[in-house]
Structure formats: structure tokens, C-alpha cells
Structure 1
Amino acid sequence: MVIQIGEVASRFIGLICISLMSVIIFTPLAFSADDIQFPLREKYPKIPTISHQELYRQLDSTVLVDVRSKYEFDILHIKNAINISISNAGFITRLMKIREKDLRAIVFYCNGITCVKSYKASDKAIKFGIKDVSTFDLGILGWTKAHPDAAVLLGESPVPLDKLIDNKLRQAHLLTPDDFVGAIGKNTMVIDIREHFQRDVIILTKITRVASSDKILGLVKKAKKDGLTLLIYDAVGKQTRWLQYLLEKEGLLEYYFMEGGLQGYLKADLPPSEYD
């Protein structure tokens, strides 16, 4: 039987299509960090790093340390991680106590590829003679997208990826410093969530309430009860990212953050307002 070239080509293309469909259907979607650049590795060339694939394989043989604040940790963290904030005065003391009892590798992590805390944690630990440490510099957000089964969001695991706040929702609740000040009125509550050591510059003194991110829940509930719009600012616009998860969980609709936080306000060089 003679098979025409066109028929052979048709069968070949068909086989390729079937193979591709099999890959699409049966291969689980995976998060890939291959194209992500890690800008801080050049600044800390001596700090060992670990990929999300390798960390996932070694979770049971690793002491995983989240070096962010307790508030950030409570919002979202890697499953079975422990929280030791690098800003805590007893950071090294706690690490040394862990090392005395546990010889497993220690891996530090924080928010993401531009978060320096995990690098500083490794650097500090190494300087104090603590061995076998490394940094997971993809951070918690990248980890959650890659391994939702090994992450915890507001006590829930696996993490439903549709509950992660995307840029669209984030942008919908950002106001420029000028618009932020313009939105202040009798039906608003303005809250400064900076930590006490960040309050070297004070703004909007006549209208602002002060509550660090881990103390804000009471004010959030009051604003919701009274039907007030929340206007919230932090130091540089990063703390509010985690607070947004809490506001969404509480079902608030009318809340806005100052873009860039206090630093954004200062850079905008706004004229004095009636609230200063």
C-alpha cells in the first residue's frame, strides 16, 4: 500500500497535537521562577540561596524561619515555618537556642525578591557562627503561587489562589497623596499604621489616629460599624499590602491606602493642609 506524503504529514501532525493535548491535560500547572531576576544576590554574593523546588523537597529536613513581623506572618506564611522577626533584639539568641537542639539546615525568608530581611538574617547568623544557613529569596508570595498546599493564608491551607490579592485589586484601593488628602472628610477615618520607630516624621496630625498594623482590628471594626471610609498610610506603602487581606476578610469595601506611604507624601511636596 502506497501512502502519500501528504497523508504521512497529516498523521504526523495529528500525533503531535495529541501529544501536546496530553501534556496540557495531564501535566499539572507549575509556577516557574526561571525568568525571575534576583537583584539582591549581587549585593550579597556570599549568602547561599535555595530555589523553591529544592526547598519544597527539603521541607521536612529544614528549620524554616520567617523573619518578618508577627502580623505579616499571621496573614500569610509557609506551612510549619516559625516566626523570628529580624527586628527583634533577641533574634540571634533564639537562633542559637534552636541550633543547640536542632542541627537541620536553617532557611530564612521574607516577602519577595526585593525584600532584604532574609539576606540580612543569613548574614547576621553567619557572622555569629551559626552554620548551614541560607536564604529563600523568592519569598512568601512566590512560594504561595508555586506551592499553595504548603502555605497558610489567615489560618487556611491549602491557600486558594483566587484569594491572593492581585495588582488590579491592589490598584483599586490606592490613592495618590494629593487625592488621599482630598478624600478626607467627616465620614472618613485616617489611620497611621507605622511602627513607633518609623514615626520620626508626623503628618496630618489633626485627623490621624495611630495604630500599628497588629493593633488596627478594633478601629477597622468601628469604621465598619459606623459606615466610615478608611484612609490608611504606612511608611513606604508595603505594610498596607498585608493589611488589605484583613480588610477584605472583614468585608470592607470603602478603604484606601496612600500610594508610597509617608515617603510618597513627602516626595509629593504638598502644600500645608488644614489637617496638619
Structure 2
Amino acid sequence: MRLSISVFLCLGLMGNLGQMAFAASKAEFPLREKYPSVPTISHDKLYRQLDSTVLIDVRSKFEFDTLHIQNAVNISISNAGFITRLMRIRERDLSPIVFYCNGITCAKSYKACDKAVKFGIKDVSTFDLGIFGWTKAYPDAAVLLGESPVPLDKLIDEKQHQAHILSPADFVGAIGKNAMVIDIREHFQRDVIILTKVTRVASSDKILGLINKAKKEGMTLLIYDAVGKQTRWLQYLLEKEGVKDYFFMAGGLKGYLKASLGPSEYD
């Protein structure tokens, strides 16, 4: 009887631990519940098998050029030839394919994996901890603006990023003679145009010329994107170029429209 009770208690404890682990996984990786069929891989397992894995970075080229995992291949999921390129890789290499993007709230790697499976590409998974988690764990296997190992003190934290964020109202209020306003959205994101009389257009990978012009003329850079995510990557280039007087619009175009029209009208 005592043995039975002990076994029962042990099983109950294991069940509780399992539930706790599942709850922790949901909290730490909120998108796993949304993509339950997408297999994932941990950072330590990926590190152990890095040399025998085809690692696909599914973000934009600019994000990839800024910070990526060593030996990764950049195939943006927004590229029309995404599946075609994957199939070509699979034809010549039967190694496991692992997709990654920015982090635990970025769905691009899940979508890439799901899309690959639907097109019959096997042995695929997603590394959903993302590039920042990877770099902090394995700076020796990451590349920041061409530099590896990555000096962790060069990673821009949220506090540093927020120090250069202005509300839409303050952003507009800062526009003046000594300011250069730049829209860094990609061409396919420019369905809505704002601040037409003052804005210069340059996608994030073609902005260096304007940065140098602003530096030379001592101008403040006021930069906005689609939803406030691209500017995070641009900040690395600005810091590398020694630019200090720059600000981003909170929420990008989306934040501007919400502030102008109100959340209910915009949504």
C-alpha cells in the first residue's frame, strides 16, 4: 500500500512538473501555441550540430548584414523565390534545415518552417529563441557588422533604444531647418505616404549616403519605418558611424496613424 501511494504521489508530481514546464514554455515562447505543428530546436542543441546544419536566416538582408548567426544563409521569407531556393538547397544537401529570425515574438521562422513542410521539404525546424538570444549565449558563433566574436557590450539594449524614440507628436514637433526626415520603409510598404513635404526616401540598406550628409551638415536625423521594428537594426549602423543626434518615431507609420486618427479609426 505504501509503495502504491508513493508511486501515485510520484506520478502526480511528475504530472504537475509537466504542466509547469508546459506553462513555462508558453510564457517563454508565446508563439509555440499558435504553431503547435512546427518543430523547434534549443540553442544548445543547435550549437552542438551547427556544422552539420543548414541554417536559414529568414529576415531582411539589412537585418542579416547587421547581425546574424555564423555560417547562416540569408533567404528572406518575403522573397518571391523563397521556396525555390529552399528546394535547390535540399537537392544538394540533406542536412537538417533550421530557420531563425529575431526572437520569441517574431513569427517569421515559424511561418518559414510551416511553409517548407507544406511544400514537401523534410527535416526542418525553427530556432525560435532568435538572433539576440543566440548572440548572448554564443557570441563566438555570431557576426555583428562583420565582427566575430561579437563584443556583447556592443549589443544595443532596450534602454539605449528607447533613449532615441520620440512620440509621433514630438517627432513632428522636432522637424525643422536643421533636421533631416527619412522614411526607411521598403517600397512595398509605402501604400500610405506621410510628411510629404519634408521626407526623404531611402530604404534601410541605402541610407548611408544620407547619414554622411547629415553628419557633414550637423543635422538631426528623424527616421521612421513601418511599425517601429526596422529602426532597431538601423541604430547599429548609426552608432557605428558615430552619429549621436538621431531619433526614431515610436511605432513608425502605424504609430503616426494611430496618433492622428485614433486607435478605433485606424484599427
Instruction: Give 1:35 deviation, angstroms.
Output: 9.8
Instruction: Give 1:169 deviation, angstroms.
Output: 1.0
One-letter amino acid of the structure 2 residue matched with residue 76 of structure 1: L
Q: 1:124 aligns with which of 102, 115, 130?
A: 115
Aligned 8 A contact 1:47 1:134 in 2: yes
One-letter amino acid of the structure 2 residue matched with residue 38 of structure 1: F
Deviations 1:65-93 (A, max 9, x none): 00001111000000000101111111111
Indicate whether 1:244 and 2:235 are aligned. yes
For 2:73 and 2:91, locate their aligned partners in 1 and report how far apart those are by CA, in whole Å. 16
- The correspondence of residues 1-276 of structure 1 with structure 2, limited to 5 A, is 37-269=28-260
**CA RMSD, Structure 1 to Structure 2 (Å):** 1.5
Aligned 8 A contact 1:178 1:270 in 2: no
Other structure's SS at 1:39 match: coil
For 1:157 and 1:270, locate their aligned partners in 2 and report how far apart those are by CA, in whole Å. 45
For 1:53 and 1:191, locate their aligned partners in 2 and report how far apart those are by CA, in whole Å. 40
For 1:227 and 1:213, locate their aligned partners in 2 and report how far apart those are by CA, in whole Å. 21
For 1:128 and 1:74, locate their aligned partners in 2 and report how far apart those are by CA, in whole Å. 28
Other structure's SS at 2:55 match: strand
Identity among equivalent pairs (%) = 82
Instruction: Name the larger-Rg structure.
Output: 1
One-letter amino acid of the structure 1 residue matched with residue 36 of structure 2: P
Instruction: Give 1:36 deviation, angstroms.
Output: 6.2
For 1:270 and 1:216, locate their aligned partners in 2 and report how far apart those are by CA, in whole Å. 29
Question: What is the aligned partner in structure 2 of residue 30 from structure 1?
Answer: none
Deviations 1:205-261 (A, max 9, x none): 000000011111111111111110000000000000000000000000100000110
For 1:127 and 1:194, locate their aligned partners in 2 and report how far apart those are by CA, in whole Å. 30
Unaligned ranges ≥5, structure 1: 1-32, 272-276
Unaligned ranges ≥5, structure 2: 1-23, 263-267
Instruction: Give 1:270 deviation, angstroms.
Output: 6.6
For 1:239 and 1:118, locate their aligned partners in 2 and report how far apart those are by CA, in whole Å. 17
Aligned length: 239
TM-score when scaled to structure 2?
Answer: 0.87
Point out the structure with the larger helix share: 2
Aligned 8 A contact 2:41 2:127 in 1: yes
TM-score when scaled to structure 1?
Answer: 0.85
